[in-house]
Structure 1
Amino acid sequence: MDTRRSEQAGDAAGIRARGGSLAPGRVVGDGRYRLLAQFGVDERAAAHLWRARDGQLKRDVALTLLVGDPADPEAARQARRTLERAAHASKFGHGGVARVLDVLSLGSGVTSSEGLLGVVVAEWTKGSDLVDLVAQRPVAPAAAARMVQALAEAVDHAHQNGLVLGLDHPQRLRLTPGGALKLAFPGPLPEATLRDDVKALGAVLYLLLTGRWALPGGPPAIAAAPLTPQGHVVPPRSLVPAVPPELSSLAVRTIEDGGSGGIRTSSAILRVLGQVAEQEERTQLINAVGKDEAAAETDGTIWTTKKPVKDVARRRKLAFGVTVLVVATVVILAWGGLMLINLFQGDGKPTGPAINVAAPPSSAPANPGNQAPPPSNQPPAGPKIGDPVAPKSASVYNPQGSGDNPGRAKNTIDGDPGTVWKTDQYQQQLPALKPGVGIAVSFDNPVNLAQVKISANSPGTKVEIRSADSKNPQLDDTKVVGSGDLNGPDTTITLQQPTQSQYFIVWITQLGDNGGDGFLTQIGELSFLPAA
């Protein structure tokens, strides 16, 4: 438990006074959830962010507590709108957003005596606070780009489904152990728009690069971004010169509302972030190589152009030693040759009793037909394979990353190996930036999977076949049931044993070599063969 969160209580004393005493140990939600530690306050919506313990299911959860007076009609209306949006988000699944487990409202899980207007219950996200991360130092540009890229992919998926996530407050975000940003406390503001989500992505990028928050309503623990005399946000590069110009411009263009060069959609952010992250990784690799070469030149080795001095006595000793070694070698070889000749040139006399090959052996059985056949050493036959089963859907599985052409995932199950899905091109091999990437498929009904046939021309790729219990599981909740290397146009991976599930993941743990130009894997078709 992070006890430092309790220090934030004093920053929202006015709000807390209206909602009673919210302190560790108090029980809310009609006695079900016990508060453990506070992780922030979004004062714009009187939303208190807590880690709590579910007394019924014995697990930790993230609570967004909407504090207010039930007699205030405007506060009650805004709380209902937030709860409605959170309820809609419960149907949305993505690795960048904590899953909404329940939504409690007045009269339905929340009593009027609790001083609360509603509660949004979400799964607990392990890891660390975004605020704690930037409090130490700004994040390296390449890492910042990758972090925001994962969050932008979640926003892009949500906007395609008409959902507003509401990630425009840094204390609602957490950094997972895998290094990805995740919306840990869902519950968008009543009037939040799709544009607010996009601006929040720019503000998060700005925060990672500079340690400053560039939108209104940030927590007191984070300094606000400075403004120019004209009222515009100062570019991150002006505060931290190491920030690449492209990344600095992206942050400002995403936050600013005015101007013709603004960025308005999450898909546009994803495109720019992918390009900037790859370029930054390439630059870091070049710099690392240069440092290694410089270190090699300054390791204390002494170089000279002076000709070696001729030492006659030393040369005589060396010649004598070589002569003795050659003579000893010849003697050993000669002795070995004589031993081999004696071995193969014996006296030629046969030994042992005489054998009449025409007569049957006395120990032969009288009726060999009754003799039992020798036991077989053949391995047991594998399961019979049935006809391929077509998945219902396919999507990019990227629990700790983003990108990798999510729009082309359907090409892996369209029956045409000529249409391919491919990963992004990486300058470093997995798992340098993330543990892997893959394709998640779901079927209409559970299948008893025995083999997976992969059509791919990406030698060097290593894959795992994983079973899952849901469409978008956490990686730790999946199970490896088979693995193999892709070394030809078609590879068939036989599972350790037939596995029944409705959801499977083809998980890439090592990318193929892209001809010396980074690492990349492409897949033309996936076929799933059940046990007959």
Structure 2
Amino acid sequence: MSELASPPSGAAAPWEGGAPTTDAAPTPFVPEQKRPEDAPTVRLGPSSETPTVPAVPSSTIAGTELAGRYRLRTRVGSDAAAGAEFWQAEDTILRRDVGATVLRRFTGESISESEAAARADEIVARALRAGSFEHSGCARLLDVLAPGTGGIPHDVLGVAVTEWVPGRSLAEVMADGLIKPIAAARAVAPLAAAAEEAHRHGLVLGCDHPQRVRITPEGRAQLCFALPRPNVTAADDIRGLGAVLYTLLTSRWPLSSADAALAGLGAAERSPGGSLVPPSEQRPGVPVELDALTRGTLGPAGAPGQVHTAAAVHRLLDEVVAEHDRMALFPPADDGVPSGPGDVWQDKGRTVTPSDPRRRRKLATGLSALAVAVLLVLGYIAVQLGSVFSEGDAPPIKVDGGAVSAPAAAPADATQPDPAAAPGGVAAVAGVQVYDTVGDRDNSTRVSRVIDGDPSSGWSTFSYKQQFPALKPGVGVMVSFASAVQLSELTIESPSAGTVIQVRSAPAPDAAFDETVPITEVTLRDHSTPVSLAGSQPVTHVLLWISKLSGGGDAHSSEIDEVQFRRAGS
């Protein structure tokens, strides 16, 4: 994948016919000459009292190794206002790509060495303060080489190393043509979230330069190079967010035209009065909210509708995206961009891309495998159904307490019972859990013992010093079935006589208590207590709610050893 390369230092100025090129030879880093309207916010003026820094040969060329670890590979841009170069570099120890922002000493300006060092110290100090800040909207800072670090060239005043952001520059994205306005809003939202978080911590990103931002393969704008100029403020970040959005909507950079030319972008159009031409006047389909957002972030200070915080930018972008998602079922307004393959609404004249033969073969193979699997499942079901209907004379299976066995064969002369008059069998339980509306669930790891078919093991509540509902309203056992079942009877095995249990149906295992419906209430006897559920409605979840514990004094608790449900007979 090609990277956008800025012109080597000393190339012709953009308005003199210069074009972005890659570094072909070691050349000194000289700030590009700017027209007055393109000048950066702060420029360091000449000093007549102190000697100027003599011109020195550049030593930041492709292949230069910094601190014995980071090898510069491709220069992808520069920020003259910060005296910074942007490089794609290689971490030779961890064998990975990184982004390197290299602060260079200006060789064409009349500033003293002490002034250049002081400016670098301020920029690097700001980067060190931001070292603990991490956000998905900006590349993570990995290393900072402060002035005086061994192994860096003599004309390098500092280096910041960040994660390399894969993807494309703004110019490369715009070279493919305009993108949909909603895609632009989705792209800028993560960058706005990063700026919001940084400003909350008293930090700034410096996203007001087009070559500091890249678009990831997922379509997210991400800050990729650190070390902004020393006087950058939160207000500059807000203007930068508006500029990135404006560029994605119009393919033109609205801030410095010199920065736009270096980045390979056109300068934004302006009216005769000097104001920016809104994106909606340059292309159709731009939502009025995005139009207002670009005006509010890029307009003059104090203008009506000015946006003052990154949080406001982030919130408005999220609202635009959410509204678009809500209206996705309605035909979109024409935005001048052809529909994509994944769009719900397609252009009538859209050309259908021929299908890939290899993909068709893979799809056919997958469908064949699926058909074979379906046939095997249908065959298994047929065999099982055949065995059920062919063994009509076999004795019925008896299920008792979870154990499955076949009863002994009846004598030949015994009278066979009428199957229609036989009572319903035991209902199989699919799951069980402790139900507690407050506090910890009592002995939740042991609750499965109430359905294990072994009355000698059981589950018990905690021991409470006071009777319910002094400390809590109660505690229960929620029993779930695989599907709705009509029950006729419930048997509870328990040694805790006097325990009061409400039997309630529930719409879900985690339903609120107010959503459960009472079926009946029972006071447990010692050992086995049958509970009639005749006349109840089919249920999927049954709650055994203990509203009164057994015991007395300062030791109140109840134990349930086994529960068994029977289906209604027919």
Compute the displacement of 1:222 (Å): 0.8
Structure 1, residues 293-343: CA drift from partner, whole Å, max 9, x if none? Answer: 989xxxxxxxxxxxxxxxxxxxxxxxxxxxxxxxxxxxxxxxxxxxx99x9
Contact 1:69 1:117 (C-alpha < 8 Å) held by counterparts: no
1:226 aligned residue (248, 269, 276): 269
Matched, 1:62 2:78: no
Kindly state the Cα deviation for residue 151 of structure 1 after the two structures are TM-superposed.
Answer: 0.7
CA distance in 1, matches of 2:179, 2:72: 31
- Separation of aligned partners in 2, 1:270 and 1:104: 33
Q: For residue 188 of structure 1, what is the amino acid of its counterpart?
A: P
Structure 1 residues 277, 168: closer, same or farther in 2, change over 3 A? same
The 2-side partners of 1:76 and 1:109 are apart by: 16
1:25 to 63, 68, 72: 63
Cα displacement string for residues 54-83 of structure 1 (whole angstroms, at most 9, x for unaligned residues) = 223322211001111595332222222111
Instruction: Rate the CA distance shift 1:14–1:282 in 2: closer, same or farther, 3 A.
Output: farther
* TM-score, with structure 1 as normaliser: 0.52
Inter-partner Cα distance in structure 1 for 2:344 and 2:148? 66
Question: Is the alpha carbon distance of 1:74 and 1:284 closer, same or farther for their aligned partners in structure 2, counting shifts above 3 Å?
Answer: farther
Tell me if structure 2 keeps the 8 A contact 1:210–1:240: yes
Q: CA deviation at 1:37?
A: 1.1
Q: How many residues were matched structurally? A: 309
Aligned-partner Cα distance in 1 for 2:121–2:248: 33
Q: Distance in 2 between matches of 1:228 and 1:237?
A: 14
Which of 95, 100, 107 is residue 136 of structure 2 equivalent to?
95
Q: What secondary structure, in the 3-state scheme, does the structure 2 residue paired with 1:251 have?
A: helix
Cα displacement (A) at 1:18 = 5.5
Distance, in Å, in 1 between the alignment partners of 2:320 and 2:409 is 87
1:129, CA displacement in angstroms?
1.9
Are the structure 2 counterparts of residues 18 and 150 from structure 1 closer, same or farther at C-alpha, using a change threshold of 3 Å? farther
Shift of 1:32: 2.1
Of residues 58, 68, 81, the one that matches 1:44 is: 81
Equivalent residues in 2 for 1:162-173, closer than 5 Å? 162-173=202-213
Asked whether the 8 Å contact 1:202–1:254 carries over to 2, the reply is yes
Report the equivalent of 1:15: 29
**C-alpha contact 2:244 2:253 (8 A) present in aligned 1:** yes
2-side partners of 1:58 and 1:179: how far apart? 26
Alpha carbons of 1:98 and 1:294: their partners in 2 closer, same or farther (altered >3 Å)?
Answer: closer
Displacement after TM superposition at 1:490 (Å)? 7.7
1:178 matched to 2:215: no
Residue 253 in 1 paired to residue 291 in 2? no
Equivalent residue for 1:280, pick from 324, 343, 363: 324
- Distance (Å, rounded) in 2 between the aligned partners of 1:233 and 1:18: 41
Matched ranges for 1:223-372 at <5 A:
223-258=266-301, 259-287=303-331
Return the offset for 1:84.
1.1
Q: 1:120 & 1:63 partners in 2: Cα distance?
A: 6
Partner of 2:184: 144
> What does residue 2 of structure 1 align with?
2
Contact 1:144–1:205 (Cα < 8 Å) also in 2: yes
Change in CA separation of 1:287 and 1:83 when aligned onto 2, cut-off 3 Å: same
Cα deviation digits, residues 20-77 of structure 1 (max 9, x gap): 04332122x2332111111111121121100111223322211001111595332222
**Residue identity in the other structure for 2:186:** R
For residues 244-282 of structure 1, give each alpha carbon's deviation from its aligned partner in whole angstroms, at most 9, with x where no partner exists: 222112112111123131001011112211222223344
The answer to whether 1:132 aligns with 2:178 is: no
User: How far apart are the structure 2 equivalents of 1:245 and 1:143?
Assistant: 15
* Residue type at the aligned position of 2:74: A
Match of 2:161 in 1: 121
1:106 partner SS: coil
CA offset at residue 291 of structure 1?
5.0
User: 2:140, 2:162 within 8 Å by CA — same for their partners in 1?
Assistant: yes
Structure in which a larger fraction of residues adopt helix: 1
Secondary structure, in 3 states, of the residue corresponding to 2:85?
strand
Q: Percent of counterpart pairs with the same letter?
A: 38
Q: Distance in 1 between matches of 2:243 and 2:293?
A: 10
- Look at both structures and tell me which one has the larger radius of gyration over its CA atoms: 2
Gaps of 5+ in 1: 296-339, 345-354, 359-386, 389-486, 492-532
> Residues 290 and 136 (structure 1 numbering): CA distance in 2 closer, same or farther, change over 3 Å?
closer
Instruction: Give the secondary-structure state (helix, strand or coil) at the position aligned to 2:295.
Output: helix
Give, in whole Å, the separation in 2 of the partners of 1:293 and 1:240: 18
The answer to whether the 8 Å contact 1:2/1:37 transfers is no
Aligned residue for 1:66, secondary structure, equals strand
Determine the C-alpha separation between the residues in 2 that align with 1:293 and 1:109: 60
* Correspondence 1:355-434 to 2 at 5 A: none
Secondary structure, aligned partner of 2:172:
helix
Q: CA 1:233/1:114 → structure 2, altered by over 3 Å: closer, same or farther?
A: same
Q: Is the 8 A contact 2:123 2:230 kept in 1?
A: yes
Shift in alpha-carbon separation, 1:178–1:291, aligned structure 2, 3 A:
closer
Between the aligned partners of 2:72 and 2:7, the Cα distance in structure 1 is: 15
Distance verdict in 2 for CA 1:356–1:211, change over 3 Å: closer
SS of equivalent residue, structure 1 residue 120: strand
Deviates more, 1:279-288 or 1:80-89: 279-288
Paired amino acid for 2:322: E
Q: Deviations over 1:176-206 (max 9, x none)?
A: 2322111111112100011111111111110
CA distance in 2, matches of 1:293, 1:218: 37
Structure 2, unaligned stretches of length 5 or more? 12-19, 22-26, 31-54, 333-342, 350-388, 394-407, 412-438, 441-507, 513-570
Distance 1:48 1:238, change over 3 A: same
8 Å CA contact 1:110, 1:116 repeated in 2? no
Instruction: Write the letter of the residue equivalent to 1:264.
Output: H
Identify the residue that residue 146 of structure 2 maps to in structure 1.
105
Offset of residue 172 of structure 1: 0.9
Question: Aligned residue for 2:115?
Answer: 74
Alpha-carbon contact 2:120-2:147 (below 8 Å) kept: no
Matched with 1:408 is: none
* Aligned amino acid, residue 74 of structure 1: E
What letter is aligned with 2:224?
A
